Amino acid sequence: MTLTGPFKQILTMDNLPLKGHLSDDQLEIIPDGGILHQHGKILEIGKYEQLKHKNPDVILERIDGEYLVLPGMIDVHTHICWAGSRINDFAQRLYGKNYLEIAESGGGIWSTVEKTRKATLIELTELTAQRAQKLLSQGITTIEVKSGYGLSVEDELKILEAIKLADRNSQVDIISTCLAAHILPTDFDGDENDYLEEMAKKLLPEIKKKNLSKRIDIFVEKSAFSTFAARNYLLKAKEMGFEITIHGDQFTSGSATLANEVQALSIDHLEAADDDEIALLAKGNVIPVVLPGASIGLGQPFAPAHKLLNAGTSLVIASDWNPGSAPMGNLLTEASILGTYEKLAMAEVWAAITCRAAAALNKTDRGILTAGLKADFIAFKTNDFREIIYRQGDLKPEKVWKNGVLHH
């Protein structure tokens, strides 16, 4: 057993509701605290000196200085397995071209697909592992990573294999999602229904056989896939035992009905969600995931996070780190900026990247500091948790523990 501490404050993020508004006074804060852990799991959280007295034979990992501790952050929506660059896309946006215009001129997702297809399995594994290590240094201890830059059976399998290998070779937990339904590939001979049928028949069984992912995603948008085609594909995936999620309401509204109907774990983006969509989400259990990095990268309005909480939904914030629309890849900065513009309480921001984020991945073993859960925690050199969001990403975690092991 190891006792890590003492910490000036421990914010456990425990005992918070999954839905609706939160206030800072709901946060459980343990002063002068310690974390007792063994084999990567938390055994007890409490006063450091009391835990030390109760466990005289414990290994002491003493932390000198004033530190505040929180659960490791969880980024539930990234695309960090890619090759190449989309700098040209960004430059064109600064000249006023929109997302669809850039795609039509040879940029966009398809340009990344072409570069990623040319990359080897080893290259993609190394690129993904490097980006995952960078996120771990930022305090993110669990990362969701999507495929979607292959758009063929062979190339999607290569990307998912690279994600799996990166997970094995990384200290951080990487959770893969198959996004073969990112866009209809320009080199596919057939319509959206034909393509999704091929993915359902040829790709998804191979993913199950090789245990490459337990999650399926689809981009529902005028430039991607229709609601009708997406419904059939998602229901087939669900019948096969996959968890499902949806890229929805990014540019046009209308995906909330589908998300509720197929009982998706989450619907991600929601920049274009209107009042009717928000009301629909409030009636169900689909978790809204908002992606401020895409709004910043595209120069578009943020998702209506405050309205979602007003309606009584949950709220998760993710980075959407990708080479095109969200190149920043800094979850804490993006969440802090969103909180400023959407008037989110600091408790709401932190819940959106810890405990509520864990729920969006259907992971009940993390996101909260309490006995029995993963010993994933991060320490900031401050004695006031409010300073972290106030500094908008400038104050970074100085120490990161993953499964009870100090990595940074």
Which pLDDT tens digit goes with each residue over 248-272? 999 999 999 999 999 999 999 999 9
For residue 379, the enclosing domain spans: 2-72+367-406
pLDDT tier at 408 (50, 70, 90 boundaries)?
low
Same domain, 336 and 371: no
CATH of the domain at 9: 2.30.40.10
Same domain, 34 and 86: no
Same domain, 148 and 274: yes
User: Secondary structure of the chain: what % helix, strand, coil (to 5)?
Assistant: 40, 20, 40
Same domain, 21 and 144: no
CA 392 to chain centroid, in Å, comes to 18
User: Which of 325, 345, 360 is a domain's end point?
Assistant: 360
CA dist., res. 247 & res. 187, Å (int): 22
From residue 311, how far is each of 42, 246, 263, 378 by CA, in Å?
35, 20, 19, 32
Same domain, 66 and 90: no
Element (H, E) at 54: helix 48-54
The domain total for the chain is: 2
Same domain, 122 and 222: yes
Same domain, 174 and 197: yes
Same domain, 178 and 281: yes
Same domain, 190 and 220: yes
pLDDT tier at 107 (50, 70, 90 boundaries)?
confident
Residue 378, phi then psi, degrees to nearest 5: -135, 145
pLDDT tier at 12 (50, 70, 90 boundaries)?
very high
Higher pLDDT: 388 or 223? It is 388
Express each pLDDT in 159-197 by its tens digit.
999 999 999 999 999 999 999 999 999 999 999 999 999
* Range scoring the smallest mean pLDDT among 93-97, 193-197, 206-210, 228-232: 93-97
Q: What is the 3-state secondary structure (H, E, C) of 181-224?
A: ECCCCCCCCCCHHHHHHHHHHHHHHHHHHHCCCCEEEEEECCCC
CATH of the domain at 139: 3.20.20.140
Q: What is the residue type of 145?
A: V
Same domain, 222 and 99: yes
Same domain, 253 and 293: yes
Provide the residue count of the chain.
Answer: 408
Express each pLDDT in 327-357 by its tens digit.
999 999 999 999 999 999 999 999 999 999 9
**pLDDT computed for residue 97 by the predictor:** 81
Same domain, 102 and 230: yes
**pLDDT computed for residue 92 by the predictor:** 82
Element (H, E) at 369: none
- Give the residue-averaged pLDDT of 48-61: 96
Two tokens at 293?
Answer: 């990095």
Residue 106 pLDDT more than 90? no
Q: What is the residue type of 188?
A: F
What pTM was estimated for this model as a whole? Answer: 0.96
| DSSP bridge partners of 217 | 245
Express each pLDDT in 110-167 by its tens digit.
899 999 999 999 999 999 999 999 999 999 999 999 999 999 999 999 999 999 999 9
